[in-house]
Amino acid sequence: MMKSLLTLLVALLAAAELPSGSDKLALKTVVIDAGHGGKDPGAVSPDGKYYEKTFTLDIAKRLKEKINAAYPDIKVILTRSDDRAVTLNQRAETANKAAADLFISIHINSSLDKAARGYSVHVLGKSKKDNTDLFKMNLDMVKRENSVITLDDDFNPETAGFDPNNPESYIFMTMMQSAHLGNSIKLAQNMIDCLGSGPLSLSRGVCQDPFYVLWRTSMPAVLAELGFISNAKDLEILGSGQGRDRIAQALLDAFSLYKKDYDASMSIHAVQSTAGASDTASEPSEQKPQTKQKRTVYGVQIFTVSKEVPEGDPRLLGYKPLIIKSGTRYRHIIGTSPERSEALKVKEAVAAKYPDAFVVKLEL
């Protein structure tokens, strides 16, 4: 189990967010995950007439249509477009294979307490509210959502590296903090703010919880619990097409705020250069200062994380990194050289550790 967890950590760190050859850096692909489906109905209303899987699919489709209308250039992918069963691994793989910039999982909550209502947004992590009733509620919810994995026909906890009934799985999962946590929290807070102007009347805030589907994705990811199917007031809203459309509109508003900030953050600023070749500037003239000429170098981007990884860290494989700041994230580039062919050799050399690494061209 530890081996599979370490393999996943490397994959998360290696996830490249800037496609090779891209001139305009912006959010381009989003995956919307409608929770549950098929033989897995999710939460069920007290009268047995309404299913979580139906509400999540409808809201996901509405959100997709709204994003497509507002941003025709953005590719929007649904993990399911009809009432079919999709495994938790397949949901994450859909986003990972598409090299998505964002993953949004849509769910509806439920509780034995019929008074419980409202919306919450969750990001990967361990709740800090260990000794509160809220944490207990969240843990029960997390176990319920994660238990869906046992419905997979080929599920084997020994080979999957995760058992929803084993507390050890959650201990290891909460150690695996995503490199994209900062951006996930930004989107989650945007959602909380925008949903406040929608039909659901109570915010339960942003929470960090160990959801399996968030753990397996290698991009900013959130899981939204949009009301309680067990609460009469929330169910009235969820059962209305107008109510679900207003929820989808609030999610679009949150997405728009996030996209604006994300695109702006992609302006690149070099914060540290330890490339092999050194710059040599001639002595400036007393009468006329000379302008330093830019030079073109090539390198291999191996990962983007929220903090600078220091020289000597084993993740750098012995290379001195060129670190480029992109908004609140840091691109780590190794093997810089004036020759593209040399960078390609480095890419080939590190392919076993970083299969998603790619060559970049920089003006320094």
Could you tell me which CATH class the domain 268-363 is placed in? alpha beta
Residues 294 and 279: their CA atoms lie apart, in Å, by 10
What pLDDT score does 340 carry?
87
For 68-77, write each residue's pLDDT tens digit. 999 999 999 9
Longest dimension (CA), the chain: 86
Q: Which of 34-43, 119-128, 268-277 has the highest mean pLDDT?
A: 34-43
Q: First and final CA of the chain: distance in angstroms? A: 43
The residue with tokens 């590719």 is 75
Assign domain 2-265 to its CATH superfamily.
Zn-dependent exopeptidases (3.40.630.40)
Average pLDDT along the chain: 77
* Sheet containing strand 329-337, strands side by side: 268-272, 322-326, 329-337, 296-305, 358-363
* Phi, psi angle pair for 188, to nearest 5°: -60, -45
SS3 content of the chain, % helix, strand, coil (to 5): 40, 20, 40
Domain ranges (residues) in the chain:
2-265, 268-363
Q: State the Cα angle at 112 between 110 and 113, rounded to 5°.
A: 95
Q: Which of 118-127, 197-206, 294-303 has the highest mean pLDDT?
A: 197-206
pLDDT of 250 > 70? The answer is yes
CATH topology of 2-265 equal to that of 268-363? no
Average pLDDT over residues 78-97: 90
pLDDT of 213 > 60? The answer is yes
Distances (CA, A) of 192 to 62, 115, 206: 19, 20, 7
Q: Which amino acid is at 161?
A: G
**Structure tokens given for 269:** 């600023």
For 307-357, write each residue's pLDDT tens digit. 788 888 888 888 999 998 866 668 889 999 999 889 899 988 988 887 767
DSSP 100-140: -SEEEEEEEE--SSTT---EEEEEES--S-TTSHHHHHHHH
